[in-house]
Structure 1
Amino acid sequence: MQVKICGITTIKTAQAAVDAGADFIGFVFAASKRRVSKQQARAIAEIIPPKVKKVGVFVNETTEVIEEIAEHVGLDYVQLHGDETPELVESLKIPVIKAFQITSKGDLTKLDHYKCDYFLLDSPAGKYRGGNGEVFDWSLTRKLPALNGKLILAGGLHADNVSEAIAEVSPEAVDVSSGVETDGSKDEAKIYAFIQAAKSTREEG
C-alpha cells in the first residue's frame, strides 16, 4: 500500500514522512492554510530521495503556471483538484493525478472522460478543495474495475480508520493531510502511525 502525505510545508516534516516510509509527498500551490511557494517547495524537495515522488496540488490553474512550477520544484506528478477539463489534463507534459469530489454514484461517471495516471477520490469540498478531514461513502466505489491500480483514496483518513478504508475500497494508495495534524500542524507521531497502519493492512490482507 502506497501512502501520500499531503500539505507538507517544512523540511523537518518532509524528512519525518520520508523516514516513516511515505511514497508520495504533496505540496499545495492552491488556496489553503498549507499553501507553499515554489521556492519553499523546491527547498523541501531537495531533501526528498528520488524513490519518494513529489506531487504538486493545483486548483483551476493555467497549464503554463502548472508546468513552470513543476519544472522549478522538480515535481513527479501534478494533482488537479479543481474543475480542470479532460483537454487540459491531456495537454500537460507531466503525469497527472486528477481529483474528484464524491457525493453520489453519479460523480464517478466523470472519471470516464479523463485519461490520467491516477484518479483521486475525495470528500466534497469545504472551504478549500481537499484537506477538509471528512470521509465520503466508500461503498460508492464498489464495482470500479477500470480503476484497478490507478485509484488513490483521500478524505477524512487517519490512523484509526485507514485499515477499514483500504479493506472497503482496495485503492492503490491512500492520501492524508489533516488526519496527521494536531492543532493544524503536521504531527510526526501521527504521520508514522498512519503510514504503519496503512502499510500493515495490505500485508495482513
Structure 2
Amino acid sequence: MSQQPSTNNYQLKVCGLTQLTQIQELISLNTDFLGFIFYEKSPRFVLNHLSLEEISEIKHLGKVGVFVNESVEKITEISEKANLNFIQLHGDEDENFIIELKKSVKKEVKLIKVFRVGETFNFKFSIFNSLVDYFLFDTDSKAFGGTGKTFDWQILNEIEIPIPYFLSGGISLENIHQLSTINQQPLALDINSKFEIEPGSKDLEKIKTFKSLLK
C-alpha cells in the first residue's frame, strides 16, 4: 500500500476565467494554473470577454487553453497569440491528432489530454502516455465539462495512471475530504462552476477558503 499524500500536495487550477481583475487576484493568491476556454459553445468562452493580446500580456507560467475538437491550425494560432503554456484537449482528439499538434506548436507548450468519465471508465489511454504531459479526468457530459457534477472517484482506483493528472468535475468545499480515498493522488485540482457567482465570474472568497484547505 502506498502512503496517501496529504492535501497540501495539490496544485490548483481555476478554469473558465473571463475577467482580468479576478485573474490578477488569483495570480496574487499563487494559483498554479489559469484556465481559458476557447470553445465557442461554452458560457465561459473567453474571447467573448478578453482578446488574445490581453491574455498574452498576463504574466503567468500556467496559462491553459481549453479546446474542444478544434483544428490543429486554430489551436496553434491561438496558442501563439495568447502565449499559452498548456493546451488542454477536452474533445475527442485521437493520437494522430496529437502527433500533428505536437509538430505544430512550440516544444515548450505542454499538452493535457482529457478523459470524460461516466459510470464506468473503459478508455484505452496507454496510447497517449508518451504523447502528452498530463491527463485530466472530468465528468462526462454533452457540454464537455462545467457541469458541477462529480464522477465516482473510486473508478480511478481501478486503473493504472502512468503520468501526472488533473482531477476535475464538481470538486467543492463539501467533497474535498473524499479526495483521500483516491490511491494515486492527482497533481492538481481543477475547479470551475462550483466556485462561481455566474458563468465566468468567480467567487474569490470561496476560492480563498478552498485554497486554505489545501495547505
| Smaller-chain TM-score bracket | 0.7 to 0.9
Write the distance in 2 (CA, Å) between the matches of 1:171 and 1:101: 16
Change (3 A) 1:35 1:20: same
Q: Which residue of 1 aligns with 2:58?
A: 47
TM-score (norm 1): 0.86
Q: Which amino acid aligns with 1:120?
A: L
Return the index of the structure with the highest Cα Rg.
Answer: 2
- The 5-angstrom pairing of residues 14-163 of structure 1 reads 14-30=23-39, 31-37=41-47, 40-50=51-61, 53-92=62-101, 93=105, 94-107=109-122, 109-114=123-128, 115-126=131-142, 128-148=143-163, 150-163=164-177
User: Structure 1 residue 163: deviation in Å?
Assistant: 3.6
Deviation sequence 1:159-199 (CA, Å, 0-9, x none): 232242255251111101102102332111122122222x2
**5+ long unaligned stretches in structure 2:** 1-9
Q: What SS does the aligned partner of 1:171 have?
A: coil
Q: Which residue of 1 aligns with 2:7?
A: none
Q: Which residue of 2 aligns with 1:187?
A: 203
Change (3 A) 1:21 1:161: farther
- Confirm or deny: 8 A CA contact 1:21 1:195 kept in the other structure: no
- Confirm or deny: 8 A CA contact 1:20 1:191 kept in the other structure: no
Write the distance in 1 (CA, Å) between the matches of 2:36 and 2:134: 17
Write the distance in 2 (CA, Å) between the matches of 1:155 and 1:191: 15
Deviation sequence 1:15-62 (CA, Å, 0-9, x none): 121122210000000021100129524314423333xx1000000000
Q: Which amino acid aligns with 1:110?
A: K
Write the distance in 2 (CA, Å) between the matches of 1:143 and 1:106: 9
Write the distance in 2 (CA, Å) between the matches of 1:162 and 1:45: 32
Q: Which residue of 1 aligns with 2:4?
A: none
User: Structure 1 residue 70: deviation in Å?
Assistant: 0.1
- Confirm or deny: 8 A CA contact 1:70 1:78 kept in the other structure: yes
Change (3 A) 1:166 1:119: farther
Q: Which amino acid aligns with 2:82?
A: V
User: Structure 1 residue 96: deviation in Å?
Assistant: 1.0
Write the distance in 1 (CA, Å) between the matches of 2:90 and 2:144: 6
- Confirm or deny: 8 A CA contact 1:111 1:119 kept in the other structure: no
Change (3 A) 1:106 1:180: closer
How many residues are aligned here? 194
Q: Report the identity percentage.
A: 35
Kindly indicate whether residue 9 of structure 2 is the aligned counterpart of residue 5 of structure 1: no
RMSD of aligned Cα (Å): 1.9
User: Structure 1 residue 130: deviation in Å?
Assistant: 0.9
Q: What SS does the aligned partner of 2:92 have?
A: coil
More helix by share: 1
TM-score (norm 2): 0.82
Change (3 A) 1:166 1:23: farther
- Confirm or deny: 8 A CA contact 1:180 1:194 kept in the other structure: no
**5+ long unaligned stretches in structure 1:** 201-205
